[in-house]
Amino acid sequence: MISCTEFIPAYSEGFKFIESMGGRDELEKFWSELSNSYLKNSLQKLLNDEGLAGCYTYWSHSLNEEAADFTMILDEERGEFSIEMHKCPSKGMLLQMKHMNPHHAYCDHCPALYKPIIEKQGLTYDHEIDGDNASCKIVIKKLEK
């Protein structure tokens, strides 16, 4: 059994495996398929139903279940949603595991998954990642008219 609590190392090794089969292009193809299939009934549906507020609903659920260390702000008046990830539980777990090396571009899967879904809704997605410290910042905004 691969427990859901062991998913992160399984995914990191999965990225290595897929990249070994077809390089970065193949890995990005997988991320794209994952984005379409995994997020269609969750983030994409919430964005359709709630607009920008769907981001708050989606990440409230997933970041709490993932026991992340974060600050999340939804500012409807400014048309902005942001996540300050102080300590990413996934990258943090991989950095703690001294017996295995994380995939060299593990953090790249987040923008690869979320950005296309967000932009499809007419929103912008900007991010800054500090993978060595398991931290990042995401800002999602309504397009200025």
Partner 1 sequence: MSQESPSRKMMTRKASDNKYLHKDFHLSMNILLKYIYENYGTDQMIRYLKQYTEAYLGSLNKKMKTGDINSLAEYLTDIYQKEDWPVDIHVTGEKIIIEQKTCPGISQIKAKGETPCPHYIETYNTVYNTLCQNTPFVYKIEFFDEETGACKQIFERK
Q: Which residues contact 62 (CB under 8 A, 6 or more apart)?
A: none
**Contact call for residue 32 and partner 1 (CB under 8 A):** no
**Rounded to the nearest whole angstrom, what is the least distance from the CB of residue 100 to partner 1 in the complex?**
5
Q: Name the one range near partner 1 by CB under 8 A: 43-51, 74-82, 118-126, 135-143.
A: 74-82
11-43 per-residue burial string, b: 16 or more CB within 10 A, e: under 16: bbeebbebbeeeeeeebbebbeeebeeebeeeb
Question: Interacting stretch for partner 1, rule CB under 8 A, among 6-14, 43-51, 117-125, 136-144?
Answer: 6-14
The reply on whether position 108 binds partner 1 by CB under 8 A is: no
Stretch that binds partner 1, among 27-35, 43-51, 121-129, 136-144 (CB under 8 A): 27-35
In angstroms, the CA 83 to CA 92 distance is 17
Burial of 95 (0-12, 13-18, 19+ CB in 10 A): middle
Q: Are strands 80-87 and 135-142 parallel, antiparallel or unpaired?
A: antiparallel
Is 129 near partner 1 (CB under 8 A)? no
Of the pair 75, 126, the CB lying nearest partner 1 is at 75
Residue in the structure block whose two tokens are 């800054």: 128
143 binds partner 1 (CB under 8 A): no
Note the residues at the interface with partner 1 (CB under 8 A).
1-7, 9-11, 13-14, 16-18, 21, 30, 33-34, 37-38, 41-42, 56, 60, 62-77, 87, 89, 92, 97, 99-100
